[in-house]
Amino acid sequence: MTADRWTRMVRQQVGLGRFLPLGGPYDGAWIAERAASGVLRGAAERDVPEVRLDGVRIGPADPGEAA
């Protein structure tokens, strides 16, 4: 079993989802997809009560379009 496959299996069992980079390539900051989704859901429920999030899929921004 490769290290990548082992890592994916552990993440799947723990339920963290993918790890997403925060900032630039040399910042070394990451967030779990599940944690980011939870924060976005909480903000939506608190700040926009008429909105209901059905599903959240998060991914890195296009470097050419991100500020």
Q: Give pLDDT tens digits for 8-59.
A: 787 777 777 788 888 777 888 888 888 888 888 888 888 988 877 777 778 7
Is 30 a member of any domain? Answer: yes
pLDDT number for residue 52: 78
pLDDT number for residue 67: 65
CA 41 to chain centroid = 12
pLDDT number for residue 50: 84
Is 60 a member of any domain? Answer: no
Whole-structure pTM over 0.75, yes or no? no
C-alpha to C-alpha distances, 55 to 9, 19, 34, 47, 58, nearest whole angstrom: 22, 18, 12, 18, 10
pLDDT number for residue 65: 77
Is 54 a member of any domain? Answer: no
Q: Domain range for residue 42?
A: 11-47
Is 17 a member of any domain? Answer: yes
